Amino acid sequence: MSSKYSSYLQAVKAVDNFPLDREAADEYYVLYLPHDTRPHGYMLPATVAGMPLTDDFSVRHEKPRSVTVVVPSDSKDIAAAVNQAFQKLIDQCIKQGGFHVLGGRHSEYFSLLGANYPVRIERFATSLFGVTSCGAHLVCYVRADDGLRVWIARRAAHLYISGGKLDTTVAGGVKAGVSPLQTIVEEAQEEASLPESLVRERVCSRDVMTIMNCTGDEFPGEKGLLCPDVVYLYDMELPSDVVPKPQDEEVESFSLMAVHEIHKAILADDFKPDSAAVLVAFFIRQSIVTPENEKDFVEIVQHLHRRLPFPIKPDI
């Protein structure tokens, strides 16, 4: 197994790759919501140019560039008007087939973090608007005689992102109206055949990871899209006789991997990029990675917990 990365820092920076000190306002269009001066997303100029923007959006092409959702002044339900504006635009984008990431189909809804009213956007479209998405990961492990081992999933080859690569035990996007824990409970049953009663009894909420990815050459869709992400992290120690089994079409298989095997796989870029970062965070929680044995410890933690440029809660 050859190594692509020489360190965990390189592996983590591969997914949190938007420079920490970079100003984006001059390069991107900033997305704004009605009656809110805070930015909620960064949109590529090519995305704005390719969208069939309606009168529901006000576009400023002079720097600082912006796209602002517009609602009628007499609107009694701002949230409904904003959601309708986004949906009309996404529907038209899907109809005209101009964006690879949409895949010509609709997807489940994600809530827009930080909005002062309930805004939701289809999952596949979030990267086009550069808004913050939410996900949840579960790392299942056992304590064997020869040390800690982790249940690692292999993603199905047909998946849009990182098909055939290794993954955490369970992972999924947090849909609008669903809590991170409920997401884990549902995905654990669907992906790994782990019963709800077992998960609720043993699962532990451990951390939250905040990263910001700029899609690159390995991404199958448009390049340069900004993907801020809030990822809720859960751990669960499993009894030795509990074996995760694939149930849906997203997981090909599960294997119980030792720490040194996961280490090699991370450096070889065999994991889905954000899953590699999740496992580095898991190693930190387990004191496998420490300031004493990792010279880049502080920088790694900075990339796992970056300050996002968009709000994560309402300001009212």
Pick the CATH number of 23-129 from 1.10.150.120, 1.20.1290.10, 3.30.750.160, 3.40.1370.10: 3.30.750.160
Mean predicted confidence (pLDDT) in 77-101: 97
Angle at Cα 161 formed by Cα 279 and Cα 257, nearest 5°?
A: 30
Residue 172 is inside which H or E element, if any? strand 170-173
Distances (CA, A) of 92 to 56, 99, 125, 312: 13, 11, 12, 28
The residues near 225 (Cβ < 8 Å, ≥ 6 apart) are 44, 47, 101, 127, 128, 130, 214, 215, 219
- ∠ CA 157-104-179, rounded to 5°: 70
Summary mean pLDDT of the chain:
95
Domain ranges of the chain: 8-17+132-304, 23-129
What pLDDT was estimated at residue 22? Answer: 67
Cα 72 from Cα 84, distance rounded (Å): 12
pLDDT over 90 (residue 67) = yes
Residue 55 CA from chain centroid, whole number: 30
What is the tens place of the pLDDT at every residue in 255-310?
A: 999 999 999 999 999 999 999 999 999 999 999 999 999 999 999 999 999 999 99
Q: What is the mean pLDDT of residues 91-117?
A: 96
What pLDDT is stored for residue 1 in this prediction?
55
Query: For residue 146, what pLDDT is reported?
Result: 87
In tens, the pLDDT along 237-259 reads: 999 999 999 998 999 999 999 99
Percent of the chain residues topping a pLDDT of 90: 92
pTM: 0.96
Among the CATH numbers 3.90.79.10, 3.40.50.1860, 1.10.220.10, 3.40.190.10, which is that of 8-17+132-304? 3.90.79.10
Distance CA 237, CA 142 (A): 6
Nearest to 65 by CA among 79, 84, 83, 49: 49
Half-sphere exposure of 184 (CA within 13 A, CB side): 25
> Do 129 and 31 meet the contact criterion of CB atoms below 8 Å apart?
yes
